[in-house]
Copies of this chain bind each other. A is one copy, B any other.
């Protein structure tokens, strides 16, 4: 199975990288952007064959390695 983990900063956490991107967009002449937040995405190939086992395994991976749960949220999508 495949899993996609999306890790984003929690609301209120400063995102200087996102601010830099917003500034760059403006200096390139692309206006109309009110804010940019950057996050990470992980595409995992899993040996697990059922969805609940896959989701449980990926949740453990997120809690232990992929996300810093103090400042980041994560979402998990499982597909075949």
Q: Are A40's CB and B41's CB within 8 A?
A: yes
Cβ contact within 8 Å between B45 and A34: yes
Query: For residue A31, which residues in chain B have a CB less than 8 angstroms away from its CB?
Result: 47
Interface on A for B, CB 8 Å cutoff? 6, 8, 18, 21, 24-25, 28, 30-48, 57, 60-61, 64-66
Collect the chain B residues with CB atoms within 8 Å of residue A64's CB: 28, 30
Q: Which of B24, B34, B39, B48 contacts A41 (CB 8 A)?
A: B39
Contact B8 A32 (CB under 8 A): no
Residues B21 and A47 in contact, CB atoms below 8 Å apart = no
Given contacts A61-B25, A65-B25, are A36 and B44 in contact (CB under 8 A)?
Answer: yes
